[in-house]
Amino acid sequence: MVRKFKQTMRALLSYIKLPRAAKKEFHKDLLGLSCEDPGIKIAIEESAAWLCRAQDSSISQDGGVARHFSIINGWSASYPETTGYIIPTLLSCAKLFGDSTLRDRAKRMLDWLVSIQLNDGSIYGGIVGNKKSDVPVTFNTGQILLGMASGVREFGKRYRGPMRKAADWLVASQDSDGCWRKYPSTFVKPGEKAYDTHVAWGLFEAERIEPNRHYADSAMANIQWALHLQQENGWFEKCCLTDTSRPLTHTLGYVLRGILEAYRFTKNPDLLKSCMKTADGLLQAIDPEDGFLPGRLYPNWEGAVSWTCLTGNLQIAICWLMLYQYIGNKAYRDAAFATNKYVRQTMKIDKPDEIRGGIKGSFPIYGAYGAYQYLNWACKFFIDSNMLEKCIRKQSKEAINRQC
């Protein structure tokens, strides 16, 4: 209660300095969650349109996607890391909508990323124009590798070379125990990161395209290293950008997805059991009534903050839905559906265009993750999670019709 009171007071004090639009959103969020759910179809369409506007509105105008729209400072420059894994999402939208312009946009993103790839195959961290960004970063390169792999599958051999260079760099820069320590982000607290399993996922995707270069061996080495940090209750040590004692659901979502992708690649049942431990722990944290999930959690899975990290919500919902597909546990499905609905109720589907279809970093908007910002990767995971829910609901309906 004391922590919650202090958070609220800090937010109220900062309120005085806010511009009018930010104060308006602050006030709306103080009133609580909207009762209106636009539905999955409209939500996906609006979020895909927001990503297009984020690409067009990036102040660096380079083909990448603006990191965010801030209701305080406006649009940002492009963000290579998240542009990388937005590419497969936009390609999926292109197929879903039958819209070739979305495919063209994904290709422009890919061409830009190839153009900024360093000679050794790595990619720098941070947004365009930030002086702290001018160094190669393991995590960012791994996320861009996901986009490059999808680019090879969609557009052909033109992107095979850049993909291979990025994957080779990740393999060469990995320590013997499977951890990546040499090229950390300058924007996070120093130290080993369990959530680099999301980098390993990129290597699994590269292995699917280049099966003779042993990328999966390096990926599995990292997965095994990360699993040594998992506790009996599913908790992961060393799994946050800044505060390992109460990590963000965002980074917990990263580590879980990476291990799930390792299971998808290997079908090793031990990996599935490890995923279920973490997924079950996260079930303890969600409010089943409205889908609220605290943005930071303690090691006993209790909430540590009064706000929610919408990005983390969506990443975890994706993992729950994937697990539901694998083992049929309806508790995972229902938690994911509740989480997705919660986030849909935070989005706007009317003007202004800068926020229509966008997803906030936090709810309320003054929460301590992407405060007063609509984040491009939140939008990406929103689309992914709702597309997966749409698919599962369709499959369930078809199964019922077959029974009838």
| End-of-domain residue from the set 210, 244, 272 | 210
Instruction: Examine the domain organization and report whether 401 and 340 are in the same domain.
Output: yes
User: What would the pLDDT profile of 218-255 be if each residue is shown by its tens digit?
Assistant: 999 999 999 999 999 999 999 999 999 999 999 999 99
Q: How confident is the model at residue 4 (pLDDT cuts 50, 70, 90)?
A: low
Q: Is residue 30's pLDDT more than 90?
A: no
Query: Would you say residue 376 lies in a domain?
Result: yes
Query: Would you say residue 247 lies in a domain?
Result: yes
| End-of-domain residue from the set 210, 238, 262 | 210
Query: Would you say residue 399 lies in a domain?
Result: yes
Instruction: Examine the domain organization and report whether 248 and 355 are in the same domain.
Output: yes
User: What would the pLDDT profile of 289-325 be if each residue is shown by its tens digit?
Assistant: 899 999 999 999 999 999 999 999 999 999 999 999 9
Q: How confident is the model at residue 365 (pLDDT cuts 50, 70, 90)?
A: very high
Q: What is the pLDDT of residue 14?
A: 76
400 half-sphere exposure, CB direction, 13 A CA radius: 6
Instruction: Examine the domain organization and report whether 66 and 140 are in the same domain.
Output: yes
Contacts 24+ apart (CB under 8 A), 64-70: 64/109, 64/112, 64/113, 64/128, 65/109, 65/376, 66/376, 67/127, 67/375, 67/376, 68/361, 68/370, 68/373, 68/374, 68/375, 68/376, 69/354, 69/355, 69/358, 69/373, 69/374, 70/372, 70/373, 70/374
Instruction: Examine the domain organization and report whether 235 and 371 are in the same domain.
Output: yes
Instruction: Examine the domain organization and report whether 401 and 259 are in the same domain.
Output: yes
Q: How many domains does the chain have?
A: 2
Instruction: Examine the domain organization and report whether 329 and 272 are in the same domain.
Output: yes
Q: What is the pLDDT of residue 1?
A: 67
Query: Would you say residue 2 lies in a domain?
Result: no
What CATH number has the domain bearing residue 255? 1.50.10.10
Q: How many Å separate Cα 196 from the centre of its chain?
A: 13
Instruction: Examine the domain organization and report whether 176 and 257 are in the same domain.
Output: no
Instruction: Examine the domain organization and report whether 57 and 195 are in the same domain.
Output: yes
Q: Is residue 401's pLDDT more than 90?
A: no
Question: What distance in Å separates the CA atoms of residue 53 and residue 366, rounded to the nearest whole number?
Answer: 23
Largest CA distance in the chain: 62
Q: How confident is the model at residue 2 (pLDDT cuts 50, 70, 90)?
A: confident
User: What would the pLDDT profile of 60-93 be if each residue is shown by its tens digit?
Assistant: 999 999 999 999 999 999 999 999 999 999 999 9
Query: Would you say residue 4 lies in a domain?
Result: no
Q: What is the pLDDT of residue 369?
A: 97
The CA–CA distances, whole Å, from 115 to 55, 89, 233, 317 equal 16, 21, 44, 34
What mean pLDDT do residues 106-114 have? 98
Q: How confident is the model at residue 7 (pLDDT cuts 50, 70, 90)?
A: low
Query: Would you say residue 5 lies in a domain?
Result: no
Instruction: Examine the domain organization and report whether 142 and 178 are in the same domain.
Output: yes
Q: Which percentage of the chain shows pLDDT scores above 90?
A: 86
Question: What distance in Å separates the CA atoms of residue 239 and residue 248, rounded to the nearest whole number?
Answer: 8
Backbone angles phi, psi at 140, to 5 degrees: -60, -40
Q: How confident is the model at residue 130 (pLDDT cuts 50, 70, 90)?
A: confident
Query: Would you say residue 296 lies in a domain?
Result: yes
Q: Is residue 372's pLDDT more than 90?
A: yes
Instruction: Examine the domain organization and report whether 236 and 167 are in the same domain.
Output: no
User: What would the pLDDT profile of 135-164 be if each residue is shown by its tens digit?
Assistant: 899 999 999 999 999 999 999 999 999 999
Query: Would you say residue 270 lies in a domain?
Result: yes
Instruction: Examine the domain organization and report whether 196 and 319 are in the same domain.
Output: no
Instruction: Examine the domain organization and report whether 104 and 238 are in the same domain.
Output: no
Q: Provide the domain limits for residue 119.
A: 48-210
| pTM for the structure as a whole | 0.95
